[in-house]
Chains A and B, each alone.
Chain A
Amino acid sequence: MNFGFTEEQELLRDQVRKFLDAQSPVSRVREIMHTDEGFDRQIWQQIAALGWLGLVVDPEYDGVGLGFVDLIVILEEMGKSLFPSPFIAHSLAASTLNELASDDQKKRHLNDLASGRKIGTIALLDIHDLPNAESITLSGVIHEDGVVLNGKKLFVMDADNADLFIVAFKDQHETYLALIHRDQTGVSTQGSATMDLTKRTGSLELDNVSVATQDLLLTDDENINRLLDKAAVAVTAEMIGAAEAVIYMTTHYAKDRIQFDNPIGKYQGVKHRLAEMYVDVESFRSLLYYAAWCVDESPHELPRSASLAKAYASDAFSQIGTDGVQLHGAIGFTQEYDMQLYLKRSKWARPIFGDADYHYERISQLQVTD
């Protein structure tokens, strides 16, 4: 029984922390988030050199061959620093190819992702943001040479920055993934910034895009849902780090800010709310660590554990973001103060890959079918 991280994982955490503190402090994050691309290609190449971009890719395809628990160590720290980059989208794309693609497909695409030569993302969802395989509507008829796709994928993370899109579609009853390159004829993206400028999203438009058979991957709904669960796990890992940062900043403020002759952290109205935040972060941290472990070690438990973590975190973190600002008083909602950036992250994280309502309902449905 060991529900903790290994020594290597703790070293990785230290490495990530030091790197982000040096290369991407919040002052730098603020600069990056106002650029068109929304991320820093130089830092991205440094990350590639450190091996993070191929962390969950097998060594024979230029990866490091580690697992999802290692990945969340990095994500937690990235969340703490609000590090702006396509890291989640890219890691999910790489992880998907690593698990599902043929050897030939891996050679043609995965090495590029793992080494950082190309950026990948996943494009699964269509008309609405119901994050499950059953809601995929993009369809295509498979013929001898492949498929021609027409349609639009919404809620594509880092759409404008990605080179390779992993696109889900259906042919009758089968579910496929198509590996589509940005340069292909008929491919276009429309980026959109959310209120959280450190997170970029967008849509992918496919106008008579031909995908050759060699870039098609027959899969099933279970695998798509597994991918969505991994996405929820990745996003929740960042939420832990960000929520921890809110507690840290607010606790410091509560120790320093004097009102009525005392630090405001002496008053129970303030200190109890901070204690409640701590209880919530400890709790969704535990749920998330377990879900991350399930990804590689106990896949049949992943749907329930991922939903429990994302559900709890979605409600708790959004309250933490709001209260973090409120406990700071007026300074908390100034543009200059960093607290508001975390509030925006909490708003961004809440609905993505399923909000609390969605995941709680799913937990209840999972039991009905048990």
Chain B
Amino acid sequence: MDFEYTQAEETFRHEVRTFLDENLPPKDQRGADFMAQWLKKVRAKRWVGFAWPQEVGGGGGDIMQQVILKEEMAKRQAPPLGTCMMGLAWVGPGIIQYGTDEQKTRFIPDILNSKYHWCTGYSEPNVGSDLAALQCKAILDGDHYVINGTKIWTSLAPFAQWISMLVRTDNFGSTATKHDGITALLVDLSSPGIEIKPIENMAGGKVFAQIFFDNVRVPVNNRLGKEGQGWAVTIASLANERSSIGEVTAMYAKLDSLKMLIKDSQRQGKPAMEDQKIRRRLAVFEAKIEAMRLNGLRYLTRQIKGEPLSSETSVNKLHRADLEVEMSDFAIDVLGQSGLQLGNQLETIDRGKWARESLGWPNVVIGGGTPNIQKNIIAERILGLPKD
């Protein structure tokens, strides 16, 4: 065991810190054009798509450099390195690994330059966790696919210009080989026959939507990968580091602000920190977050050594799903009635952050697989229990 960084890694960390010192003013001193400038500067550093190969415009950062960059960014609560979130996380890696040269030239630079949003179309009204049962179909008609069906819970759809989606091109109605007939298509959301209906979530946000496809024609050139290869395309991730260091750093920051809040709070007429139950709960949060940090470092070590990671990352996903909910709910518990205000007004405690986050958890808990699904993954893939 050795928790030291190499000289080269320290140099890179120093470079990141110096950049942040020079280019990340405190929140209240950021001008109107700050974000535009920021995106330009981090793009020039090639930190957008940092894990991607340099040939396509990425940064070619190795695993440890990715970890360092994410950690330093999260420590300073820096804004994202690009605004095309789905493009950077999912669509880009799929295109780089499975796309044609034409698709790479056409889409990758725009993702890196935060030109517009992408969304990803997986879930359908009757298809959630059992994604391979999807029914939205595409039939080949000359040099076009014709899509009919619907996608739902599509995050960012109300703002996106393109969608990377899974459709069924074969094995209609068959359940035995349902993984096989699935194909990935890249679809322009301004195509005729598409209707997007935003869905309001319980915190009042309208970031996801249902999308209806009525005889939507998509050129065959926009197929990502081969026909029937859709399942593989969606899990491309391009040697991304999987330590969850960014999330862990953010959660430590959240724990710090929770502690600040509680230090200033009263509970039943006494300072809240005098209550042992409250101190214990904070310490339990800390133990779980530290466990996540160290789990991540163990998985990272294996990744660096080139050992295969099975589904171990589900461990940290489960912790995070629990913690994000519990920490916000705990803040509200301590605050009592005044913790329930959602408003972003100055006089609201922490500008309603805790109330909002206590309702905003579905992103963390449901997105990418519910806790029940993560438990299935661990039980079946790691412990070898029979599938249900």
Question: Which residues of A approach B to under 8 Å, CB–CB?
Answer: 1-5, 69, 247, 251, 254-255, 262-263, 265-268, 270-272, 274-276, 278-279, 282-284, 286-287, 289-290, 293, 297, 308, 311-312, 357, 360-361, 363-364, 367
Give chain B interface residues in 251-306, CB to chain A under 8 Å: 259, 276, 279-280, 282-284, 286-288, 290-292, 294-295, 297-298, 300-302, 304-305
Smallest CB separation, A280 vs chain B (Å):
9
Bound-state Cα–Cα, A369 to B9, Å? 33
Which A residue's beta carbon lies closest to that of B67?
Answer: A1
Q: In the bound complex, do residue B384 and residue A255 qualify as a contact, i.e. CB atoms below 8 Å apart?
A: yes
Question: Which among B2, B300, B376 has the greatest number of chain A C-beta atoms within 10 A?
Answer: B2
Residues of chain B lying within 8 A (CB to CB) of residue A267: 388
Smallest CB separation, A316 vs chain B (Å):
10
Q: In the bound complex, do residue A276 and residue B375 qualify as a contact, i.e. CB atoms below 8 Å apart?
A: yes
Question: Which residues of B approach A to under 8 Å, CB–CB?
Answer: 1-5, 9, 64, 67, 259, 276, 279-280, 282-284, 286-288, 290-292, 294-295, 297-298, 300-302, 304-305, 312, 315, 318-319, 372, 374-376, 378-380, 382-388
A271-B388 contact given A284-B291, A361-B279, CB 8 Å threshold: yes
Q: In the bound complex, do residue B1 and residue A3 qualify as a contact, i.e. CB atoms below 8 Å apart?
A: yes
A282-B315 contact given A3-B1, A312-B291, CB 8 Å threshold: yes
Question: 20 interchain pairs (CB within 8 A)?
Answer: A1-B3, A1-B297, A3-B294, A5-B1, A69-B1, A251-B384, A255-B386, A272-B375, A275-B383, A276-B375, A278-B315, A279-B318, A283-B295, A286-B294, A286-B297, A297-B1, A297-B3, A308-B287, A360-B280, A361-B283
A265-B378 contact given A1-B300, A364-B280, CB 8 Å threshold: no
Which B residue's beta carbon lies closest to that of A271?
Answer: B379
In terms of DSSP, what is the predominant structure of the interface of chain B? Answer: helix
Residues of chain B lying within 8 A (CB to CB) of residue A361: 276, 279-280, 283
Bound-state Cα–Cα, A255 to B287, Å? 32
Bound-state Cα–Cα, A330 to B42, Å? 62
Q: In the bound complex, do residue B383 and residue A278 qualify as a contact, i.e. CB atoms below 8 Å apart?
A: yes
Contact partner of A282 (CB less than 8 A), chosen from B284, B295, B372, is: B295
Q: In the bound complex, do residue B300 and residue A3 qualify as a contact, i.e. CB atoms below 8 Å apart?
A: yes
Which A residue's beta carbon lies closest to that of B371?
Answer: A272
Smallest CB separation, A253 vs chain B (Å):
11
Instruction: Known A-B contacts: A268-B375, A286-B294. Give 17 more (CB < 8 A).
Output: A1-B5, A3-B3, A251-B385, A255-B386, A266-B387, A266-B388, A267-B388, A271-B385, A275-B378, A279-B318, A282-B315, A293-B1, A311-B283, A360-B283, A361-B276, A363-B283, A363-B286
Inter-chain contact count A-B, CB under 8 Å?
139
Bound-state Cα–Cα, A297 to B1, Å? 10
Which B residue's beta carbon lies closest to that of A267?
Answer: B388
Smallest CB separation, A6 vs chain B (Å):
8
Q: In the bound complex, do residue B287 and residue A251 qualify as a contact, i.e. CB atoms below 8 Å apart?
A: no
Q: In the bound complex, do residue A274 and residue B318 qualify as a contact, i.e. CB atoms below 8 Å apart?
A: no
Which B residue's beta carbon lies closest to that of A288?
Answer: B294
Contact partner of A283 (CB less than 8 A), chosen from B3, B288, B374, is: B288
Bound-state Cα–Cα, A286 to B305, Å? 18
Bound-state Cα–Cα, A282 to B376, Å? 16
Contact partner of A289 (CB less than 8 A), chosen from B298, B312, B315, B379, is: B298
Bound-state Cα–Cα, A363 to B378, Å? 30
Contact partner of A290 (CB less than 8 A), chosen from B259, B283, B294, B372, is: B294
Q: In the bound complex, do residue B376 and residue A271 qualify as a contact, i.e. CB atoms below 8 Å apart?
A: yes
Which A residue's beta carbon lies closest to that of B286?
Answer: A363
Bound-state Cα–Cα, A215 to B240, Å? 58
Give me the 9 closest cross-chain CB pairs, A-B, nearest first: A286-B294, A283-B291, A271-B379, A275-B375, A360-B283, A265-B385, A275-B378, A364-B279, A3-B297
Bound-state Cα–Cα, A283 to B376, Å? 18
Bound-state Cα–Cα, A3 to B243, Å? 12
Residues of chain B lying within 8 A (CB to CB) of residue A268: 372, 375-376, 388
Residues of chain A lying within 8 A (CB to CB) of residue B300: 1, 3
Q: In the bound complex, do residue A262 and residue B386 qualify as a contact, i.e. CB atoms below 8 Å apart?
A: yes
A289-B1 contact given A276-B375, A361-B279, CB 8 Å threshold: yes
Contact partner of B287 (CB less than 8 A), chosen from A274, A275, A282, A287, is: A287
Q: In the bound complex, do residue A357 and residue B379 qualify as a contact, i.e. CB atoms below 8 Å apart?
A: no
Residues of chain B lying within 8 A (CB to CB) of residue A367: 259
Q: In the bound complex, do residue A287 and residue B290 qualify as a contact, i.e. CB atoms below 8 Å apart?
A: yes
Which A residue's beta carbon lies closest to that of B387?
Answer: A266
Bound-state Cα–Cα, A255 to B301, Å? 31
Question: Which among B259, B288, B376, B385 has the greatest number of chain A C-beta atoms within 10 A?
Answer: B385
Bound-state Cα–Cα, A286 to B291, Å? 6
Q: In the bound complex, do residue A357 and residue B1 qualify as a contact, i.e. CB atoms below 8 Å apart?
A: no
Q: In the bound complex, do residue B287 and residue A311 qualify as a contact, i.e. CB atoms below 8 Å apart?
A: yes
Bound-state Cα–Cα, A265 to B280, Å? 34
Bound-state Cα–Cα, A204 to B327, Å? 46
Residues of chain A lying within 8 A (CB to CB) of residue B380: 271
Smallest CB separation, B275 vs chain A (Å):
11
Q: In the bound complex, do residue B386 and residue A266 qualify as a contact, i.e. CB atoms below 8 Å apart?
A: yes
Smallest CB separation, B344 vs chain A (Å):
30
Q: In the bound complex, do residue B386 and residue A286 qualify as a contact, i.e. CB atoms below 8 Å apart?
A: no
Bound-state Cα–Cα, A254 to B383, Å? 11
Smallest CB separation, B7 vs chain A (Å):
13
Contact partner of A4 (CB less than 8 A), chosen from B290, B301, B386, is: B301
Bound-state Cα–Cα, A1 to B378, Å? 26
Q: In the bound complex, do residue B2 and residue A2 qualify as a contact, i.e. CB atoms below 8 Å apart?
A: yes
A308-B3 contact given A265-B379, A272-B379, A274-B383, CB 8 Å threshold: no
Contact partner of B1 (CB less than 8 A), chosen from A2, A265, A287, is: A2
Bound-state Cα–Cα, A274 to B3, Å? 31
Residues of chain B lying within 8 A (CB to CB) of residue A69: 1
Bound-state Cα–Cα, A3 to B304, Å? 11
Residues of chain B lying within 8 A (CB to CB) of residue A254: 385
Q: In the bound complex, do residue A247 and residue B383 qualify as a contact, i.e. CB atoms below 8 Å apart?
A: yes
Which B residue's beta carbon lies closest to that of A291?
Answer: B294
Residues of chain A lying within 8 A (CB to CB) of residue B387: 266
Residues of chain B lying within 8 A (CB to CB) of residue A282: 295, 312, 315
A271-B305 contact given A1-B300, A4-B298, CB 8 Å threshold: no
Smallest CB separation, B152 vs chain A (Å):
24
A278-B388 contact given A4-B302, A293-B1, CB 8 Å threshold: no
Residues of chain B lying within 8 A (CB to CB) of residue A263: 385-386
